[in-house]
Amino acid sequence: MSTNSVVIPKKSPNREQLLQKAQEIGELAEKHALQADIDAKLPDIVVDKIKEAEFHKLHRPKAYGGQDLDFYTFGDIIRTVANYNISAAWITYFAIIHETWPAFLPEQGREALYNTDALLADVFAPVGKVTDDPDGKGYRLSGQWNFCSGVLWSDWIALGAIHKMRDASEPELNMFIVHKNDVEVIDNWNPIGLRGTGSNPVKVDNVYVPEKYVFRLKQVVGGAIAPDGNYEEDYLLFNVPYLVYFLSGFPQICIGGLERLVNDFEEKTKNRVRIYNKNANEKDGSSAQHTLGEFKMQLKTLQAVGKEYMDKLTYYQENGIRVIEEEEREQLFAMRGHISKTSSELATRILVTLGGNALNKEGHSERFVRDLIAVAAHPTHLYDDAMVGYGKTILGYDGHPMW
């Protein structure tokens, strides 16, 4: 079977319940969106709602309270929250995926992290400095990492650093997991968008990290599972390329936010009166009709690309594929880049087309535009990097070294 073949979606048996919970989270977050913009963080009641829904447990191994949640429902949960509040969708998405890397730790480490109801955070950026501890087992970590999404509500944080591990032949990128008690959170989050995520920087200074709390990222990307073997044969994340999964929610966030803007544009077009054009009804003009049709079709194409991404993940899972060819890896990068760039550009065009009244914060449109611009700036789907990487692999060269 080709990964471009049609896939009949497998749906979670409790899909409707999960999507209802996602809608409730989104609605609650939207209610507090204006204050969250001012505070540069979501109110705790929104994050409590995410935990109450137990979304953070969805993609854990079943042995630790997870379930065999299909990728389509996973994506639809994120997209549904994003219909109401992109910052809340960001935190919902991260709450789910950050509970998956403990599955790849040694048993002692994953037991410690999973036997808690705390949320987890991480920053992949390899900016930390690591030294071997004199005990011959653990490591010492120092550094400062920006953009630590979810840190305000998390107890454990995985931080990226390149280091030559004791059993390795060369330096490699790994994630070193520390407790929030050993971390300084720097309160300076003040971006254009995604303000509700509270993604403040974190700093650590010579913190001890035992071997059980090191996520061997390079090995996992290369197809490794847990160091003590496949303790859950059908665990979906032992059967897919890990980073392809880990990054799969970003397109869903973009599509969910854009869906809201396009739907809002439709409603406002139906009711808009152009006072400087003889009080003409906007919906009667061919220009507005053309623009609405164009926006709808562009949204549908992005939805189709987003579904194809999940089709591929489902195919990998069903066939136990943990490592993919270079060109396909970069094609997925390009899909993420295309969705993020196009969503942000369409969002901006929608706002400008709607005119001055859409600029009011109470109307939410401008917040969705700012958030989509901020999402598009994330390094895992930067458009130019993605297209270069994909183009290189089509021509037989190596793609992007990370994504």
Per-residue pLDDT for 279 more than 90?
A: no
Task: Give the pLDDT confidence score for residue 284 in this predicted structure.
Answer: 79
Please, what is the average pLDDT of the chain? Answer: 95
Q: What's the pLDDT score for residue 276?
A: 67
List b or e across 144-158, with b for residues whose CB sees 16 or more CB atoms inside 10 angstroms. bbebbbbbbbbebbb
- What pLDDT sits at residue 2? 40
CA distance 293 to 25: 30
Mean predicted confidence (pLDDT) in 375-379: 97
Q: Work out the percent of the chain whose per-residue pLDDT is above 70.
A: 97
Q: Output the pLDDT for position 285.
A: 83
* pLDDT confidence bin for 10, thresholds 50/70/90: low
pLDDT tens track for 128-180: 999 999 999 999 999 999 999 999 999 999 999 999 999 999 999 999 999 99
Nearest to 88 by CA among 14, 147, 27: 27
* Separation between Cα atoms, residue 30 and residue 40, nearest integer Å: 14
Q: With a cut of 50, say whether residue 4 has pLDDT above it.
A: no
* Residue 282: band (very low, low, confident or very high) from pLDDT cuts 50, 70, 90: confident
Q: For 229-277, write each residue's pLDDT tens digit.
A: 999 999 999 999 999 999 999 999 999 999 999 999 999 889 877 776 7
Residue 9's pLDDT band, with cuts at 50, 70 and 90, is low
- At residue 288, the pLDDT reads 87
Q: What is the pLDDT of residue 125?
A: 96
Spell out the domains of the chain, with CATH numbers in brackets.
15-101 (1.10.540.10), 120-221 (2.40.110.10), 242-394 (1.20.140.10)
Q: Are 370 and 252 in contact (CB under 8 A)?
A: no
pLDDT at 6: 45
User: Which residues are within 8 A (CB) of 86 and not within 5 positions of it... i.e. 6 or more apart?
Assistant: 193, 194, 253, 256, 257, 367, 368, 371, 372, 375
- pLDDT the model gives residue 3: 45
Instruction: Convert the pLDDT of each residue in 14-40 to its tens digit.
Output: 999 999 999 999 999 999 999 999 999
Query: For the residues 66-81, what does the mean pLDDT come to?
Result: 96
